[in-house]
Amino acid sequence: MSAGIISTGKYIPSVKISNRIVAKKLRLSEKKIIEKTGINFRFFSNKKETISFMATRSAKQAIKNSKISKEKINLVICCNFEAEYKFPCLASKIVKNLNLKNSGSFDINANCTGFQIGLSIACEKIKFDKTINNILVIGTALQSKYLNWKIPENSIFYGDGSGAAIVSRVPKKYGLLATDIFTDSKAYEDVRLCGGGNLFDASSYQKNKERFLYDMNGLETWKQVIINQPRVIENVLKKAKVSKNEVDLFIFHQANKNLLDYLSHKLGVKKNRTFTTVEHYGNTADASIAITLNDALKKKKIKKGSIVLISGVGAGFVFGASLFRWY
C-alpha cells in the first residue's frame, strides 16, 4: 500500500475585496493593480471568521467528501504561519473543534509551501506507521490583519482562506511518488513578519508597529522563484523517474498571476497543464495550494491515474515539490 490524497475541502471567508477597494486604499488605479497582480478579488475574514473557524470549516468539508468517519482520523497537521495564540498549536484547536477522540496534532510553519510539505509528511507517516491510516492536513491563513497599506507590495496581493485534504492508504502504484525540499537562505530577510518573535516581542509594539506588519521584497521573491522553483521541480521528477511531459497538471503556490505565467513559460509548461485560482482569491499563503487543488478537482481537471505535481515556495526561502498519481 501507498498513501495519497482521497478528498479535499475549502473555506473562503465572507468579505469580498475588489480592486476598486484596494485602489482606493493605495491610491492606485484598478488598471495598475490588475496589470501588476492579475488578481480580480481577494477575501478577508470578518470578526467571527477566526483562523481556527476557517480551518475547521475546510476540514469538515474534506472529511465529508472523504466518506470517512472523523473517529478514523489519526492525526491533524496544520500548515500556518500564525495562529490564535503563540501556543498551543492550531492543530490542537482543530482536534477540539472537531471533537476528535483518536488523533494527534502538530503545526508546520513553512509559509506558502507548508501545505505541500504537510501532505508529504502525512504520506510518509502513513507509509511507515501501520497504526496510522487517515491524516487531516490543513493549509490556512488569516493575512488581512498583517497588511501594510502604506506599501503596495505588502498589501496588494493577499487574501484569507483555508483548504484541507484527507490523506489515506491507497493502492501501491498510486499516491505520493516522490517529494523534494530545498532552502536558499540568502534571501532569509526578504519576506518576513517580525512582530511577535523574540527580537520584536509584544513589549516593542508601540515603538515598532510596522514590524508587526508584512515586510516583503517583491523583486527578490521573483528572482528566487524563477531560479529555484524549477530546480526543486526537476529534483522531484528525477526522483520519481517521470518526465515533465508525463505530468498531467501542475499546481503552484498562487503568489501572483504574472509570476505564475512566467514560471510556466520558463518550465515550458503550457497553460492548459496548469490550474490557477489567484485571480479569484488572491495570494492566500499556506492555503493557496490547498484551495487550488480543491478547485481543480471540482473542475474535473484531475481524474484517477492523473499525475499531478504540486510545488510551492515559502519565506526563508523554502522550496518544495511533490508528485502524485491520483487515486
Domains of the chain: 2-172 (3.40.47.10), 177-325 (3.40.47.10)
Q: What's phi and psi for 67, nearest 5 deg?
A: 65, 20
Return the H-helix or E-strand segment holding 169: strand 161-170
Q: Which DSSP category does 297 fall into?
A: H
List the pLDDT tens digit at each of the 327 positions of the chain.
899 999 999 999 999 999 999 999 999 999 999 999 999 999 999 999 999 999 999 999 999 999 999 999 999 999 999 999 999 999 999 999 999 999 999 999 999 999 999 999 999 999 999 999 999 999 999 999 999 999 999 999 999 999 999 999 999 999 999 999 999 999 999 999 999 899 998 888 888 889 999 999 988 899 999 999 999 999 999 999 999 999 999 999 999 999 999 999 999 999 999 999 999 999 999 999 999 999 999 999 999 999 999 999 999 999 999 999 999
Grid coordinates belonging to 85: 495564540
Give, in order, the Cα–Cα distances in Å from 36 to each of 17, 112, 157, 246: 17, 20, 9, 32
Instruction: Give residue 312's pLDDT.
Output: 97
